[in-house]
Amino acid sequence: MKKIFLSLLTLILISTSVFADGIKFTASAPNVVELGEQFRLTYSLNSKGKNIQLPALDGFRVLMGPSTSSNMSTQIINGKVTSSSSYSYTYVLLAEKEGKFNIKPASISVKGDKVSSNTLTIEVVKVNKTQQGSGNNQSKNAAASQKITQENLFVKVHLDRKSVYMGEHIVATIKVYTRLTIAGFGDSKFPSFDGFLSQEVPTPGQISLQRENVNGTIYNTGIIRKLILFPQHTGEITIDPFELECIVRQQRANKRSGFFDDFFDNYQDLRVPRKSKPIKIRVKDFPKSKPASFDGAVGKFNLTTTIDKDSVKANDAITMRVKVSGNGNLKLIKPLEFNFPADFEVYDPKTTQNLKSSEKGMSGSTTFEYLIIPRHGGEYEIPSVDFSFFDPKARIFRTRSTPKFNIKVAKGDGDASGTVISSFSKEKVKFIGKDIRFIKTNEFESQLKGEVFFGTTNFYLGYLIPFVLFILAFVFNRKRIKENADTIGQKNKRANRVAMKRLKAASASLKAKQKEQFYDEILKAIWGYTSDKLSLPLENLNKENISEILLDKGVEVELKDEFLSILDTCEFARYSPSAGSSEMDELYQTSMDTITKLEKNIK
Amino acid sequence: MKKALQIILVLFISTQAWAQVNPITKANEMYQKGEYEKAIQAYQFVLDTHIEAPEIYFNLGNSFYKSGEISSAILNYERALLLSPDDKDIQYNLDLARKHVLDKFEVLPEIFVKRWFTGIRNSFSANLWAYISIGLFFLALLFASFYLYSNKAGLKKIGFFLALIAFGISLLTYSFASKKTDEITLREYAIIFSPSVTIKGSPDKSGTELFLLHEGTKVKVIDSLGDWRNIQLSDGNEGWLKKEDIEMI
């Protein structure tokens, strides 16, 4: 128990000392006051301080102060003890002059250090004549009893700009303005914001009313909602009216005298619907000089591109991150289109957004994560890609580029075999155990590279030599036939002459009275002649077949008989001694005639 | 002098007498032991001396296949097939190697007559076609002499027709030999060697990217401009790529 108490105490001590470090000295006062109105200027400090020193308060008179108050609180949440103490110094001021006044920082010393507060701006407005009453309490009462009119209670969609570029942000604030007592708000209907991408700016959950000067009238205003809008197309875009039901607390007009009635029913709540006016926004198109890589990004961005590794094995994944950070329509930025090497497998980029919406627009970052898988070995290059955006403040396009990445891809472990398996798996059973055929180990003829038989001289000689031989053989044969033909012809021609020669020799023997020789010569002449003339060798000729051959050759029958009779006469006379010279003369003459006739007859 | 050296090497490799020190035999032994890298070096040494044979290319292709370099394997199988188009082993291994190539193409349909013709043409090598052509020419002359010298009319007729037919086929085989020789000497096909190549629409780095090819794909080179080559695929598509991405067969 004691232990717990001790630890609690140390905790308290530590936490207070921690608080002491973050000393906050803040000034607070209403933004707008009426001329002659009394109001409070409060300085609060979360520590104990001494010697508060006020700045010179021009235009204001200090009516009272400072009145100090202190406040201590201790919280135990889940066993954690936090304690805070606050001191406040309150002055009551009176506005004396019209205009805007700056209240310079006040200072206070805390444990010897001088701490300064923030600066305040207070606008002093001259009281509107239509407005009744003066003084804080009175005006409140007056407001409560005022009639519900459009001037006293209205809603408005407030835009910080009326003319923007496409994609540039606009801050739209939906505000309620009232000079009545508002008990709360009922149903509301927000505009659809067609033509815009809208993003809500977080506002405190509770609607707190603040004083604001609108054309010389002081209203209590509350921000219902705050949005940033990004126009999606050019031209005029109309924002639909905003509808809100306000619950106004009003004092009953007919006062009753009843005690209880007075006490309970003095106020009544009225539901008052309000509708804002539609607003038009002019959305301008971008200047003409649009870069090719511009894709609608508007704002001010930075581009960082990283790659997790630049040398991998085939089929290993690479992650490339492209981070666009800055302020603008980050939500609408499209992934950059890289010109990846064609053989890379690239998946659609994963987009992660880390965005924050505030009155200054949307800020944060959008990251695109590209998963790349090189499928084959080699050296590849991911070329640089431009990212362009429009800077609406400077009204120019700016371009950022990603760096160029060189990627070395080594052949993967399963590069070759992997594909083999995939192609083999198509017909698993069929291809099991399939291998290339073994090398050739036989003896073979090798040749010089580029050596071809076709077209060489030897090749053409292969045709030419047989052809020449063929022609030569033909020519030679023709010549031989011709020669053969000639010898027969000559013999034929010469037959007559040879026969006459023989006959002459016969006549010589006749004169010499050599009987036997004479007949011999005649026979030789006759036989020789027939042999030559008929182109038949002598051996084939005899008395038996000669008549047949002669008839075949177209010789007349009388001539044949004469021819045969000569032969008969010769053979007979040769061996008979009685033959006279006159007979021999006659025979010689007949032989001459027969040969001459035969010469004419045999064709 | 160099020529003489080469001729000596040709003899050296071809003759069995030297088998013990034959570099091809040595390379084959390395292959059998599974030392594919060394076998590759040995085969390539022989090829560097300007000696070639379909068997050397085939064995080199096998070594490349075994050491996982598919595009080199395909290149050498294709070279072997050029020299020996009717070899079933080469065809088989090439088909197997092609299964590792990523790109698959629809082959443009050909008229069946043309396909048939190409089939016949590919069944023999250029040299064999040349010999066949010469042989048929010789036969044509022989039949012609039948016609000229025979005394019998029937033999004369047959001789005349056979001579005509033999001469016609000789002309056809001559054209086959000529075409196959062109294939060997002109070398218009190439194999892609880079792991992946983007084929451009024009011979320029900024050209439109048309399609993607991977290593091992066979392409036909139809034009060139500086460092760029215009290639055509078997499905008819065309495009440009850098010279260094391909290796001519």
Per-residue confidence (pLDDT) for residue B139, from 0 to 100: 92
**Tokens 């003409």 sit at which residue?**
A288
Q: Nearest residue of B to residue A409 by CA position?
A: B195
Q: How confident is the model at residue A472 (pLDDT cuts 50, 70, 90)?
A: very high
What is the per-residue burial (b if ≥16 Cβ within 10 Å, else e) of A400-413? Answer: bebeebebebeebe
For residues A503 and A491, give the distance between their C-alpha atoms in angstroms, rounded to a whole number: 17
The residue type found at B183 is E
Q: Which residue has the higher pLDDT, B16 or A246?
A: A246
Tokens of A442: 């036989």
Q: Nearest residue of A to residue B245 by CA position?
A: A378
Question: What digits encode the pLDDT tens for the residues A40-96?
Answer: 888 888 877 777 777 777 778 887 777 888 888 888 888 888 877 888 888 888 888
**Contacts by B208-213, CB closer than 8 A, 24 or more apart:** B209/A342, B210/B237, B210/B239, B211/B237, B211/B239, B212/A342, B212/A343, B213/B103, B213/B241
**Tokens 């698993």 sit at which residue?**
A428
Q: Nearest residue of B to residue A380 by CA position?
A: B196
Q: Minimum mean pLDDT among A255-259, A272-276, B41-45, B123-127: which range?
A: A255-259
Smallest Cβ distance to B130: which of A411, A453, A466? A453
The residue type found at B100 is H
For residues A160 and A170, give the distance between their C-alpha atoms in angstroms, rounded to a whole number: 6
Per-residue confidence (pLDDT) for residue B102, from 0 to 100: 79
Q: Please check whether residue B236 is in contact with residue B229, taking contact to mean a CB–CB distance below 8 angstroms.
A: no
Q: How confident is the model at residue A12 (pLDDT cuts 50, 70, 90)?
A: low
Q: CA of B64 to nearest chain A CA: how many angstroms apart?
A: 11
Q: How far is CA A262 from CA A248, A251, A252, A266, A267, in A?
A: 19, 10, 10, 5, 9
- Are A439 and B31 within 8 A, CB to CB? yes
Smallest Cβ distance to A446: which of B10, B66, B148? B10
For residues A322 and A309, give the distance between their C-alpha atoms in angstroms, rounded to a whole number: 14
Does the structure show a pLDDT above 60 at B164? yes
Does the structure show a pLDDT above 80 at A506? no
Mutation target for A interface from B26, B88, B100, B211: give the one with most A CBs within 10 A: B100
Question: Do strands A182-189 and A243-251 pair parallel, antiparallel, or not at all (unpaired)?
Answer: antiparallel
- Are A440 and B209 within 8 A, CB to CB? no
- Are B59 and A440 within 8 A, CB to CB? yes
Across the A/B interface, how many CB contacts are shorter than 8 Å? 126
Residue A340 dihedral angles phi and psi, to the nearest 5°: -70, 150
Spell out which chain A residues touch chain B, with contact meaning CB-CB distance below 8 angstroms: 341-343, 375-378, 411, 416-417, 419-420, 423-424, 434-450, 452-455, 459, 462-463, 466-467, 470, 473-474, 477
Average pLDDT estimate for A353-366:
86
Residue B104 exposed, middle or buried by CB count within 10 Å (0-12, 13-18, 19+): exposed
- Are A466 and B137 within 8 A, CB to CB? yes
Per-residue confidence (pLDDT) for residue A415, from 0 to 100: 46
For residues A87 and A43, give the distance between their C-alpha atoms in angstroms, rounded to a whole number: 8
A239 alpha-carbon distance from chain centroid: 40
- Are A453 and B51 within 8 A, CB to CB? no
Residues of B whose CB is below 8 A from A419: 100, 102
Does the structure show a pLDDT above 60 at A228? yes
pLDDT > 90: percent of chain A: 2
- H-helix segments, A79-168: 136-145
Q: Which residue has the higher pLDDT, A538 or A18?
A: A538
Residues of B whose CB is below 8 A from A450: 184-185
Residues of A whose CB is below 8 A from B100: 416, 419-420, 423
Q: Nearest residue of B to residue A410 by CA position?
A: B195
* Host H or E run for residue B36: helix B36-48
Average pLDDT, chain A: 78
Q: Which residue has the higher pLDDT, A1 or A177?
A: A177
Average pLDDT estimate for A289-298:
84
Does the structure show a pLDDT above 60 at A22? yes
Cβ-Cβ contacts under 8 Å for B172 (sequence gap 6 or more): none
- Are A473 and B145 within 8 A, CB to CB? yes
Q: Which residue has the higher pLDDT, A445 or B201?
A: B201
Q: CA of B141 to nearest chain A CA: how many angstroms apart?
A: 7
Q: Which of A252, A243, A251 is nearest to A272 (CA)?
A: A243
Per-residue confidence (pLDDT) for residue A160, from 0 to 100: 86
Highest mean pLDDT of the ranges A20-29, A212-221, A580-589 = A212-221
Average pLDDT estimate for A406-431:
55
- Are A440 and B102 within 8 A, CB to CB? no
For residues B80 and B57, give the distance between their C-alpha atoms in angstroms, rounded to a whole number: 5
Q: How confident is the model at residue B16 (pLDDT cuts 50, 70, 90)?
A: very low
Q: How confident is the model at residue A252 (pLDDT cuts 50, 70, 90)?
A: low
Question: What digits encode the pLDDT tens for the residues A135-170?
Answer: 444 444 444 456 777 778 888 888 888 888 888 888
Residues of A whose CB is below 8 A from B70: 416
Q: Nearest residue of B to residue A445 by CA position?
A: B14
Does the structure show a pLDDT above 70 at B70? yes
The residue type found at A40 is R
- Are B185 and A452 within 8 A, CB to CB? yes
Does the structure show a pLDDT above 70 at B20? no
Highest mean pLDDT of the ranges A73-82, A345-354, A582-591 = A345-354
Residues of A whose CB is below 8 A from B7: 448
Per-residue confidence (pLDDT) for residue A329, from 0 to 100: 86
Per-residue confidence (pLDDT) for residue A254, from 0 to 100: 57
Q: Nearest residue of A to residue B87 by CA position?
A: A440
For residues A63 and A46, give the distance between their C-alpha atoms in angstroms, rounded to a whole number: 25
Cβ-Cβ contacts under 8 Å for B182 (sequence gap 6 or more): none
Q: Nearest residue of A to residue B194 by CA position?
A: A378
Q: How confident is the model at residue A584 (pLDDT cuts 50, 70, 90)?
A: confident
Question: What digits encode the pLDDT tens for the residues B227-248?
Answer: 899 998 888 888 899 888 898 8
Smallest Cβ distance to A376: which of B97, B137, B214? B214
- Are B100 and A453 within 8 A, CB to CB? no
* Host H or E run for residue B88: helix B88-98
Helix (H, G, I), strand (E, B) or coil at A223: strand
Question: What digits encode the pLDDT tens for the residues A520-545?
Answer: 788 888 888 777 777 777 777 777 77
- Are B28 and A439 within 8 A, CB to CB? yes
Torsion of CA B188, B192, B198, B200, to 10 degrees: -10
